[in-house]
Amino acid sequence: MKTRFLILLAFLAQIAHAADIVPKPRSLVEGNGEFTLNRRATLVCDERLDNAASYLLGYLPLRLTKGTTGDVRLLLDSTLKSEEYQLRIDNSGIEVRGGDYGGVFNALQSLLQMLPAEVYTKRASLPITLTHTTISDAPRYSYRGFLLDVARTYMPVNEVKRAIDYMAFLKLNKLHFHLVDNPGWRIEIKSHPELAKVGGWRGGDSPIHPVYAHFDRKYGGYYTQEELREVVVYAAQRNIEVIPEIDMPGHSKGLGAVRPDILCNYTPDTTITNGIDTRNVWCVAKESNYRLIEDIIREVADIFPSKYIHIGGDEVNFNWWKQCPDCQRLCREKGITVGPQLEEHFLMRVNEILARYDRRPIVWNEAIRGGKMPKSTVVCGWYGVKGCLEAMNGGYPTIVMPSRYFYLDKRQGPNEIGHTSKTGITLKTICDFEYESAGFTPEQQKHIIGVEGALWGEIIASNIDPKGRFSDYLEYMIFPRLFGVSEAAWCHDRRSYDDMYATLKRSFYDKLEAMGATFRLTPPTIEVKEGKLTATTDDGSKIFYTDIRTNRRCAYTEPLDAALAPYVAFHSFTKTGRSGIAAAPEYWQYRQPKVAVTSSMPFTKHRPLEECAKYGDAAYTTRCARKGDWVEFRFEEPLDCHYIEVITGHYQVFRRLIYNGHVELSYDGKSFEQAGRLHNGKIELRPTRTIHALRIVADGITDAEEYTCIRPLKIK
């Protein structure tokens, strides 16, 4: 019993590795002594720091006392700049000094990271021993952001708060809250309740057509103003400013379905979209639109104290305006053209409304192409480095977030979940990002106000595990990549990828586990050599493999026969981390038997149906699929195989697919039997008989897009 007690005491009093703080501090010096927070440890603070003290008490069982003497002291120091801090641990205890509330809060994050991982369970026990340490630190940029897209996939308030906690953990201080987009309107507007009460839902009896998943039911949600104020307060305690985005004039298809009066004054051709109006742009010429926008901005400004409101301005389809007689007339009156100039006219009107409520705009980089947006406008440079340079060269304050580096919804490997990208975006991609090598001159960099990582929500809905936690997918996508975003935004002297990866394995996997956060592991390394198939990891994780022929998962304990290489994929687990799949090159090689492909649907000239016959790229129809439409794959020779994957739509996101449909197989070349229903446009088949033909059949109105995507079969 005594031995167990001593072991437990040793664990609780363990000394953390002080240098393992992310983002990397500007200066950290370790001393020779130690200080122990015992069970009687006290906390004192400046009364202006009560919220910071309350936050710390959520992690450590200290006794809050009055006065100036305590084991942990939180102080404001006017000699320090905004968000700058000093943290000193010596024989007198732990002293935190910050130039403002943000500085003190940043210091607390560094302090918590120096403690044993147990503190992140919020059930830590004392005593805890720390090495004498002095840290002087300040951020490189004042804007350190994370975009959370809840418009495409609604997230409950408690999950939004989890995301805020993760931001605070890594000293990110701006939540770019993407509340409005094509698929949904997530913010209650009391003067126009239909915007959220109707526009917050899609599918079922909603006028907004389903997309991205949950095609068979009504899905969504919205935030009341009271809930949003609660989020603002929660974030403020964690030194995070919530910046709402009301995306316009594009990305407004859902709003147009609820309020068709915002759309241009003509009847569009909807024959290719099964009668569904897919216009997604506000009409610039309607004065009633600006009155509606002012109603919206008035309430948004009342909810969010941020001086900024993001008003979008990206990916506007100018073709809708070209068909509008009112927009064309306005262009003639103003002497402008349909395109960036007309969009700028709209945004300038919105900017005038913002000014009446003492708010400034943030926009996406396309919005400044008209050339006249005020120089106080903040620009998110998302469209590659080029988008950042457009803003910097125009003299605009710029948030650096080129998608090829900072979009965390993109895949972390070529065969993982997430949006496609040529190389994948990994932690290494972000750690290797350098402003100079990306093409930013010192003069251009003067316009950078910060860095932002983004998690768009298209794929979240289709990856929510009903048996798990809502945020598993979100966490898998942001961890560990958000560590790299944090350092890019905070540090002048950042860790290399190798240093960051070693730091994570040494100190942060345990912390993420204590938080209950899912995180991505580096996939196993696979090798086929001397008749053996081997899998290894560098993080001590347990390896499993799945046989594609049976879908059976087994623990990997020793090398396998190399003959299994085409059929087995590996993945690993440790703590709350999991890897993506890894496999030998043979696994990704599919059979390509000769096949004739026919369809009831017409296909485009640049993506003809022959793409599927030659196992090339996807084929695109010229309209949506309708009930009874079909695509048939007829094999030249009868096919014996272990596995067939049938895919409609895009690989990375459930769009332009046949979601209401099934697959049939013919075993004699004449009659067909149903083999299963499509789920999110896909199905995996494991045939036990020889196949002559396969047919995809639409059972009803399908995805309301301009075309349907049909992909070649994957056969093993």
What domains can you pick out in the chain, each with its CATH number?
2-137 (3.30.379.10), 143-490 (3.20.20.80), 521-588 (2.60.40.10), 595-715 (2.60.120.260)
Question: Rounded distance, CA 426 to CA 406, Å?
Answer: 10
User: Among candidates 527, 531, 581, which has minimal Cα distance to 553?
Assistant: 581
Find residue 714's DSSP bridge partners: 645
Q: What are phi and psi of 150, to 5 degrees?
A: -105, 0
Contact 599, 632 (CB under 8 A): yes
Residue 40 burial (CB count, 10 A): 10
Q: What are phi and psi of 474, to 5 degrees?
A: -55, -45
**Strand-strand pairing, 661-666 and 673-677:** antiparallel
* Helix H or strand E segment including 28: strand 27-37
User: Among candidates 223, 218, 148, which has minimal Cα distance to 190?
Assistant: 223
Residue 18 is predicted with a pLDDT of 55
Question: Rounded distance, CA 36 to CA 127, Å?
Answer: 6
Q: What are phi and psi of 606, to 5 degrees?
A: -85, -15
First to last CA, the chain: 58
For residue 449, which amino acid is it?
I
Q: Quote the DSSP letter at residue 459.
A: T
Residue 34 is predicted with a pLDDT of 96
Angle between the 101-114 and 157-169 helix axes, to the nearest 10 degrees? Answer: 80
Question: Rounded distance, CA 707 to CA 625, Å?
Answer: 8
pLDDT digits (tens, 9 = 90+) for 210-235: 988 888 899 999 999 999 999 999 99
Question: Rounded distance, CA 129 to CA 131, Å?
Answer: 7
Q: Which residues of the chain have pLDDT under 70?
A: 1-18, 468, 703
Angle between the 325-334 and 340-356 helix axes, to the nearest 10 degrees? Answer: 80
For residue 326, which amino acid is it?
D
Q: Is the pTM of this model over 0.85?
A: yes
**Strand-strand pairing, 360-364 and 378-381:** parallel
Q: What are phi and psi of 138, to 5 degrees?
A: -160, 150
